[in-house]
Amino acid sequence: MRKHDPGESQANADHILSLLRRLRLDWLVHHFPPRLVRSVYVFVNGFITIGLLALLALLSGNPFVFPSLGPTAYLLFFSPLAATCSPRNTILGHAIGIMCGYAAFVLTGAGALPFGIHQGIFWPRILAAALSLSATGALMTLFGVSHPPAGATTLIISLGIISKPLELVIIEVAVFLLVAQALAINRLAGLPYPWWNAPASITHATDGFE
């Protein structure tokens, strides 16, 4: 189990103050509780990032917004310095989820019935869900790219909610766009958000079975 890193928590708090100073809004921390300021910060960032992707989805007619993108956005702005929130883990984690989800969807025949059609227990879909989630978890562990929201991505695909090949590409593009927004905003806030991988000290803390 990963030990709590006081330095990481301090950095996560300091970058909000840094951004507020740049925007000449640092007076907020002197008039409101720190937790409230932090919650507003997460709210604004989540609204902007998902709002932009939702607008893109509306204009293009493609699934640039999907359920598992929500927890990814939350993690990227609530605990951006965690190893699971690095661009590497976020992008590769979702990629693994996409591949495992589609492989399970095809191999089990889960697409024989359109999603939402109820005919009692549809065993191929149950098998696809179990197979995709277990494979995603195993591969993320094997390659050291843990990103929990990818577990939801793989279920979205293996259950047939989103299953067309082009849509799967759009999902990964949406992840790239979200990471790009997180990189821009976190860097603007003065946070040392990694360009690709988390610092070695954080990455090593998540390895092993401590």
Residue 13 neighbours by CB under 8 Å, 6+ apart: 34, 38
Q: Is this prediction's pTM over 0.85?
A: no
Query: In the numeric block, which tokens belong to residue 117?
Result: 């059609």
CA distance readout (Å), 189 to 79, 80, 153, 159: 13, 12, 29, 39
- With respect to residue 1, please indicate whether it lies within any of the assigned structural domains: no
Q: How far is 72 from 59, CA to CA, in rounded Å? A: 22
The reported pLDDT for the residue numbered 111 is 86
The reported pLDDT for the residue numbered 209 is 41
- Domain that residue 138 falls in: 6-205
Query: In the numeric block, which tokens belong to residue 210?
Result: 């401590």
The reported pLDDT for the residue numbered 202 is 57
Alpha helix (H) ranges present in 65-164?
69-78, 87-107, 123-143, 150-158
- With respect to residue 210, please indicate whether it lies within any of the assigned structural domains: no
- With respect to residue 139, please indicate whether it lies within any of the assigned structural domains: yes
Burial class, 10, CB count within 10 angstroms (exposed 0-12 / middle 13-18 / buried 19+): exposed
- With respect to residue 122, please indicate whether it lies within any of the assigned structural domains: yes
- With respect to residue 54, please indicate whether it lies within any of the assigned structural domains: yes
CB 17 within 8 A of CB 29: yes
- With respect to residue 31, please indicate whether it lies within any of the assigned structural domains: yes
* Residuewise pLDDT in 10s, the chain (210 residues): 445 454 445 555 566 666 666 666 666 667 778 778 778 878 888 899 899 999 999 999 999 999 999 999 999 988 888 999 999 999 999 999 999 999 999 999 998 877 777 666 789 999 999 999 999 999 999 999 999 999 999 999 999 999 999 999 999 999 999 999 999 988 887 788 999 998 765 555 445 444
- With respect to residue 102, please indicate whether it lies within any of the assigned structural domains: yes
The reported pLDDT for the residue numbered 180 is 95
pLDDT tens digits, 94-148:
999 999 999 999 999 998 877 777 666 789 999 999 999 999 999 999 999 999 9
Q: How far is 101 from 110, CA to CA, in rounded Å? A: 11
Q: How many domains does the chain have?
A: 1
The reported pLDDT for the residue numbered 106 is 95
- With respect to residue 178, please indicate whether it lies within any of the assigned structural domains: yes
